[in-house]
């Protein structure tokens, strides 16, 4: 009988308990991936879970739980844990505490022996009793090492356990006890680094409100967020976090959107404005119609990206993983060679104890996770360590124009008055005539009149003329606003403005030309400073790619000192990206995340700007900038450069430290007791160095 299997995978999110280091995630990933029916698996240390794609006809959650348990970890049940599980956890904690106490006592004994104070005290403790105490204290660690050995795996405690056994064999039970002490010290350091990695996700998750004030049947009801549905309306007041994405249908408020867009100043929102989950109302009141909530909200997608970023490892991280897997057999070989050449069992034990493979595994992921979390807090979403690594060495930056380098909407730049009219009169009459026009240039004219606080009258009649402009009666006079064909004139005064790539509007009153208005899509004010920062960060070539004409591109790029290519179609932009890649250059493309999606995908790193609330932009780019601020572009490069400096320093110092420790131990210059203490120092160094990275990024 032929059994058919489901072709559509089911995605499971499985919580994993007991993972303390990057090596643990690799063990769990291998255990789950070995099951028939598992199509893909990613294990996340930061959020303590695995995301597994399975064929439900071949594998079940219970089978995954069994595989994780066989690997030495656990999958908590949705029900209350059985008493046996609680007892086992309590036993492990008691044994760990006992091991710590015994180790401290033994450490004092050894130091006292060096000073000649505790010689008689040490002699009073029989060897069998001392050895039994050491083995009891080390029982939790030895059990994990044995389980790994049965699965033909080596973990970070394997070598130290062998070293401890070697010390016991030569009668040095006190030294073996100190080795146990520092195994627990090392485990505590690994747990600390894992907690630091998880903190970024925890800090983000804590910002999401769990309750909402629902507006239903003309009354307010405070309900759990799980009861809110799309289309409902929620009330948010001063000092409260907005629980969902939505559109304001009543009220006005100042909203702190720094968590989403990175914008440091509150944004004034009113009816019709979009708002985002986890943003905070600093002043005012809003009634919001829900458009997305939970995992589908902008904040939920940010959380998902931060979690999943851990799965995208760069070349440096994969190199560190491979190095750690080969490191332990090499150390075991050095220990065997030491014993064969010197016959010194203590030196052999010291070689096994001093080797620190876990620090190699920690060197890259801790720094990457720190950077991804810190970047997310500033509105820079990085989809994985491999994009940090590529961005750090990028030397070509290609930029889209409209909506990226510029504000994306025209703004009135010039008002030229002719005949007997003043600039204010020209703008006031033009704004009145354009009141009902939907053209983008009309919006720019109206906005300029508001900025100048002009009193704009209502038109008595209005007519839109396709391809020409508008005609209206204002204060009893006929006003025409449009191109030269509408007013029947074209003046040389406009030539200089047209040469700058600006759009022109001619204004006529009773068929007499009274003025010219010029509008342009203006440069973002922070761009010049940001481009200078990028040059200082080592970006060698910056170039504009635009579909606009040559004049508009030249007018924009000349003050910035950057080259441009104009009149480009989307496929032309892809061709330019490939052209640089063919020369061996590493290309970053910055665009709006939708229109430039093909070029963003082709680039080594695609960076979408101003993607808050846009699912397409968030999914399309490798790095998403939630705010429309060019300082975030420079910030992304700065994060990448600093992160890779920290990673290289972590790996280099760890390699040098292990080389020195192995050499001293092999020649008998480093006793096993000091070797055990020295083994934990690289982990502390990595934590401190990565913490320095966090502080640098947050400045």
Return the pLDDT at 562: 93
The whole-number pLDDT of residue 129 equals: 84
568 within domain boundaries: yes
Please say if 400 is a catalytic residue: yes
615 neighbors 626 (Cβ within 8 angstroms):
no
User: 195 pLDDT band (50/70/90 cuts)?
Assistant: low
**Same structural domain for residues 535 and 627?**
yes
In the chain, what percentage of residues exceed pLDDT 90?
A: 17
Q: In sequence order, what are the beta bridge partners of 505?
A: 517
* Residues 402 and 528 occupy one common structural domain: yes
Q: Which residue has the tokens 């209350």?
A: 80
- Six token digits for residue 354: 């001093």
- Least confident stretch, 42-51, 82-91, 551-560: 82-91
Quick one: pLDDT band at residue 192, thresholds 50, 70, 90? low
Q: What is the mean pLDDT of residues 203-229?
A: 80
Q: pLDDT tens digit string along 456-487?
A: 999 999 998 877 889 999 999 999 998 887 87
**Rounded to whole angstroms, how far apart are CA atoms 534 and 528?**
10
pLDDT of residue 486: 81
User: pLDDT digit string (tens) for 22-69?
Assistant: 667 777 888 888 888 888 888 876 667 888 888 888 888 888 888 888
Q: Are residues 421 and 509 in the same domain?
A: yes
Q: What's residue 29's pLDDT? A: 82
Per-residue confidence (pLDDT) for residue 261, from 0 to 100 = 60
Task: State yes or no: pLDDT of 115 exceeds 80.
Answer: no
Same domain, yes or no: 493 and 535 = no
Report the b/e string of 358-387 with b at 16+ CB within 10 A.
bbbbbbbbbbbbbbbbbbbbbbbbbbbbbb
Are the C-beta atoms of residues 360 and 373 closer than 8 Å to each other? no
Q: Is the pLDDT of residue 3 over 60?
A: no
Per-residue pLDDT at 87: 41
Cα–Cα dist 464/454, whole Å: 23
Supply the pLDDT for residue 290.
92
For residues 691 and 374, the model is more confident at 374
pLDDT of residue 633: 92
- Strand ranges of the sheet holding 461-465, from the earlier edge strand across to the other edge: 406-417, 512-523, 503-509, 477-482, 469-474, 461-465
Sequence-distant (≥ 6) Cβ neighbours of residue 461 within 8 angstroms: 472, 473
Residue 164 in domain: no
Non-local CB neighbours of 613 within 8 Å, separated by 6+ positions: 245, 274, 276, 298
Section 342-357 average pLDDT: 79
Give CA–CA dist 218/271, Å, rounded. Answer: 19
Locate 370 and state its tokens: 């720190």
* Annotated active-site residue in 144, 232, 400, 629: 400
- Mean per-residue pLDDT, 67-92: 59
Structure tokens at 2: 């032929």
Least confident of 119-123, 202-206, 216-220, 671-675: 119-123
How distant, in Å, are the alpha carbons of 14, 78, 93, 361, 631 from that of 88? 21, 18, 9, 29, 52
pLDDT band, very low/low/confident/very high, at 399 (cuts 50, 70, 90): very high
More confident residue, 367 or 269: 269
Residue closest to 570 by CA, chosen among 599, 603, 542: 599
State pLDDT tens for residues 220-251: 888 888 888 899 999 998 888 888 889 999 88
Per the domain annotation, does 184 fall within a domain? no
Q: Which of 21, 53, 70 is the last residue of a domain?
A: 70
Structural domain count, the chain: 4
At 270-287, the pLDDT tens digits run 888 888 888 888 878 899
What's the mean pLDDT when you consider all of the chain? Answer: 78
pLDDT in the model for residue 99: 53
Mean pLDDT of 70-82: 65
For residue 126, tell me if it sits in a domain.
Answer: no
> How many other β-carbons are positioned within 10 Å of the β-carbon of residue 110?
19
Claim to verify: residue 536 and residue 390 sit in the same structural domain? yes
Q: What is the largest CA-CA distance in the chain?
A: 116
Residue 260 has pLDDT above 70, yes or no: no
Q: What share of the chain is helix, strand, coil (3-state, %, to 5)?
A: 50, 20, 25
Q: Quote the pLDDT of residue 5.
A: 45
CB atoms within 10 A of CB 692: 15
What is the C-alpha to C-alpha distance for residues 41 and 13, in angstroms, rounded to an integer? 10
Query: Confidence class of residue 2 from pLDDT cuts 50, 70 and 90?
Result: very low
Q: Which of 465, 491, 523 is the last residue of a domain?
A: 523
Q: What pLDDT is attached to residue 1?
A: 35
Over the stretch 149-191, which tens digit does the pLDDT of each residue have? 777 766 667 767 777 887 787 777 777 777 787 777 666 666 6
User: Does residue 618 carry a pLDDT above 80?
Assistant: no
Q: At what angle do helices 681-698 and 173-206 cross, to 10 degrees?
A: 20
Give the domain-ending residue among 292, 312, 338: 292
Does 609 lie in the same domain as 506?
A: no
pLDDT: which is higher, 305 or 564: 564
Residues 237 and 274 in one domain: yes
Lowest mean pLDDT among 344-353, 377-386, 679-688: 679-688
Per-residue pLDDT for 6 more than 60?
A: no
Q: Tokens 């998902």 — which residue? A: 304
Give me the pLDDT at residue 507, please. 92
Inside any domain, residue 260: yes
| 528/444 same-domain check | no
107-121, 181-195, 500-514, 672-686: least confidently modelled range: 107-121
Q: Give the chain's end-to-end CA distance (angstroms, integer).
A: 66
Distances (CA, A) of 537 to 404, 571, 633, 640, 669: 20, 30, 11, 10, 45
Q: Could you give the percent of the chain with pLDDT greater than 70?
A: 77
Least confident of 83-87, 213-217, 527-531, 559-563: 83-87
CATH number of the domain to which 420 belongs: 3.40.1110.10
Residues whose CB is less than 8 angstroms from the CB of residue 643 and which lie 6 or more positions away in sequence, other chains included: 367, 368, 370, 371, 388, 392, 693
Q: In this structure, what CATH number is given to the domain that contains residue 26?
A: 3.30.70.100
Lowest-confidence segment of 14-18, 209-213, 262-266, 623-627 by average pLDDT = 262-266
pTM of the predicted structure, to 2 decimals: 0.67
294-303, 414-423, 630-639: least confidently modelled range: 294-303
Same domain, 400 and 529: yes
* Domain, as residue range, for 22: 10-70
pLDDT at position 178, please?
A: 73
* Residue 544 covered by a domain: yes
Kindly state the average pLDDT of the residues 364-393. 81
Is 593 part of any domain? yes
87 inside domain: no
Contact between residue 18 and residue 155 where contact means Cβ atoms under 8 Å apart: no
pLDDT of res. 179: 75
Strands 280-292 and 233-237, bridge-based pairing: antiparallel
Same domain, residue pair 517 and 417: yes
Regarding whether 565 and 470 lie in a shared domain, the answer is: no
Mean pLDDT score, 621-633: 85
CA 371 – CA 386 distance, rounded (Å): 12
531 and 491 within one domain = no
């Amino acid at each position: 009988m032929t059994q058919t299997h489901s072709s559509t995978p089911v995605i499971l999110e499985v919580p994993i308990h007991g993972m303390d280091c990057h090596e643990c995630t690799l063990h769990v990933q291998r255990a789950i991936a070995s099951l028939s029916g598992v199509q893909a698996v990613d294990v996340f240390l930061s959020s303590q879970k695995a995301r597994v794609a399975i064929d439900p006809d071949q594998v079940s959650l219970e089978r995954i739980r069994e595989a994780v348990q066989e690997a030495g970890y656990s999958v908590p049940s949705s029900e209350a844990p059985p008493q046996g599980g609680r007892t086992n956890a309590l036993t492990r904690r008691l044994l760990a505490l006992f091991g710590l106490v015994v180790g401290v006592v033994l450490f004092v004994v050894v130091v006292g022996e060096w000073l000649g104070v505790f010689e008689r005290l040490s002699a009073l403790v029989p060897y069998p009793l001392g050895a039994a105490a050491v083995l009891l204290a080390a029982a939790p660690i030895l059990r994990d090492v044995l389980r790994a050995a049965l699965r033909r795996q080596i973990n970070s405690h394997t070598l130290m356990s062998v070293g401890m056994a070697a010390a016991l064999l030569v009668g040095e039970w006190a030294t073996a006890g100190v080795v146990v002490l520092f195994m627990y010290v090392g485990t505590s350091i690994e747990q600390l680094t894992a907690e630091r990695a998880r903190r970024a996700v925890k800090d983000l998750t804590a910002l999401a409100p769990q309750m909402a004030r629902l507006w239903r049947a003309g009354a307010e009801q405070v309900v759990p967020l799980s009861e809110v549905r799309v289309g409902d309306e929620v009330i948010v007041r001063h000092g409260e976090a907005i629980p969902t994405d939505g559109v304001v249908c009543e009220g006005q408020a100042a909203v702190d959107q720094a968590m989403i867009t990175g914008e440091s100043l509150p944004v004034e929102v009113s009816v019709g404005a979009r708002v985002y989950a986890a943003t905070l109302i600093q002043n005012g009141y809003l009634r919001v119609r829900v458009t997305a909530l939970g995992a589908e909200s902008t904040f939920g997608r940010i959380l998902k990206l931060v979690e999943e970023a851990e799965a995208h490892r760069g070349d440096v991280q994969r190199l560190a993983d491979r190095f750690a897997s080969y490191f332990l057999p090499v150390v075991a070989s050095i220990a065997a060679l030491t014993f064969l050449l010197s016959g010194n069992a203590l030196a052999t034990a010291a070689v096994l104890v001093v080797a620190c493979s876990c620090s190699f595994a920690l060197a890259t992921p801790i720094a990457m996770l720190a950077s991804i979390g810190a970047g997310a807090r500033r509105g820079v979403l990085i989809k994985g360590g491999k994009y940090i690594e590529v961005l750090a060495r990028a030397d070509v930056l290609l930029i889209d124009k409209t909506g990226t380098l510029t504000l994306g909407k025209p703004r009135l730049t010039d008002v030229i008055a002719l005949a007997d009219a003043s600039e204010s009169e020209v703008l006031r009459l033009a704004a009145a005539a354009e009141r009902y026009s939907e053209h983008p240039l009309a919006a720019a004219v109206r906005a300029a009149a508001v900025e100048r606080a002009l009193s704009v009258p209502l038109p008595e009649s209005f007519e839109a003329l396709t391809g020409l402009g508008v005609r209206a009666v204002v204060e009893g006079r006929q006003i025409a606003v449009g191109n030269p064909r509408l007013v029947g004139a074209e003046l040389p005064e406009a030539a200089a403005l047209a040469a700058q790539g600006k759009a022109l509007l001619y204004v006529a009153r009773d068929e007499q030309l009274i003025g010219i208005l010029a509008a342009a899509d203006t440069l973002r004010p922070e761009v010049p400073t940001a481009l200078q920062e990028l040059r200082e960060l080592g970006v060698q070539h910056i170039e504009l790619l635009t579909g606009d004409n040559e004049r508009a591109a030249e007018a924009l790029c000349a003050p910035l000192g950057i080259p441009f290519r104009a009149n480009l179609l989307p496929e032309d932009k892809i061709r330019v990206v490939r052209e640089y890649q063919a020369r061996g250059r590493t290309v970053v493309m910055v665009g709006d995340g939708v229109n430039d999606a093909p070029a963003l995908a082709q680039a080594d790193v695609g960076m979408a700007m101003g993607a808050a609330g846009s699912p397409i932009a968030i999914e399309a780019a490798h790095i998403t900038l939630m705010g429309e601020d060019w300082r975030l572009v420079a910030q992304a490069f700065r994060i990448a450069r600093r992160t890779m400096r920290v990673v290289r320093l972590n790996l280099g110092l760890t390699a040098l430290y292990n080389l020195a420790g192995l050499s001293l131990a092999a020649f008998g210059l480093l006793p096993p007791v000091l070797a055990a203490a020295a083994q934990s120092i690289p982990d502390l160094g990595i934590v401190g160095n990565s913490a320095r990275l966090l502080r640098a990024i947050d400045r």
